[in-house]
Amino acid sequence: MTTASTTDAEAVLKGMYAAEAEYLAAGGPGTASFAPLAPFFSPDVVLRQAESLPYGGDWRGHAGLERFFLAMSATWESFDMVEQSFLSRDNPLVVLTRVRARARGTGRELDFPILQTITVEDGRIAEVCPFYWDTAAIAAACAPH
């Protein structure tokens, strides 16, 4: 296992974000193929979401990521990454993203930051750990009253 150089890791991440945008534009989870995203992720990738979120838990491998995207799609009508800043270009990369989202079940809108650490190994994303400012506010916006 080798970690990617700073430039390579950032290029992998930017390529994945572009592929994700194409995937969502093509209809996203349940409609579009995950194939364009797959090359950016290690076969044993781990995405660690806070347990208190509607899509919380660890999502493993390509099949796990596909299920994660379905869970996100069921939760959010829109989930726009409005602004991103690379705070660290060393592995793991640290990315601060401002999100504007609308909950599918309630129509409630939120604007919030997510800080992610992203590890790239052998040219693929191996681990993603997002940290949300207020998971309770997100869960409340998604829960019908």
Domain boundaries, the chain: 6-142
Residue spans of beta strands (DSSP E) within the chain: 41-49, 57-60, 76-88, 93-103, 109-121, 124-132
Burial of 31 (0-12, 13-18, 19+ CB in 10 A): exposed
The reported pLDDT for the residue numbered 6 is 46
Structure pTM?
Answer: 0.86
In the structure, what pLDDT confidence band is assigned to residue 115 with cuts at 50, 70 and 90?
A: very high
Tell me the CATH architecture of domain 6-142: Roll (3.10)
Tens digits of residue pLDDT in 35-67: 889 999 999 999 999 999 999 999 999 999 988
- Torsions phi, psi for 6 (to 5 deg): -55, -50
Residue 27 pLDDT > 80:
no
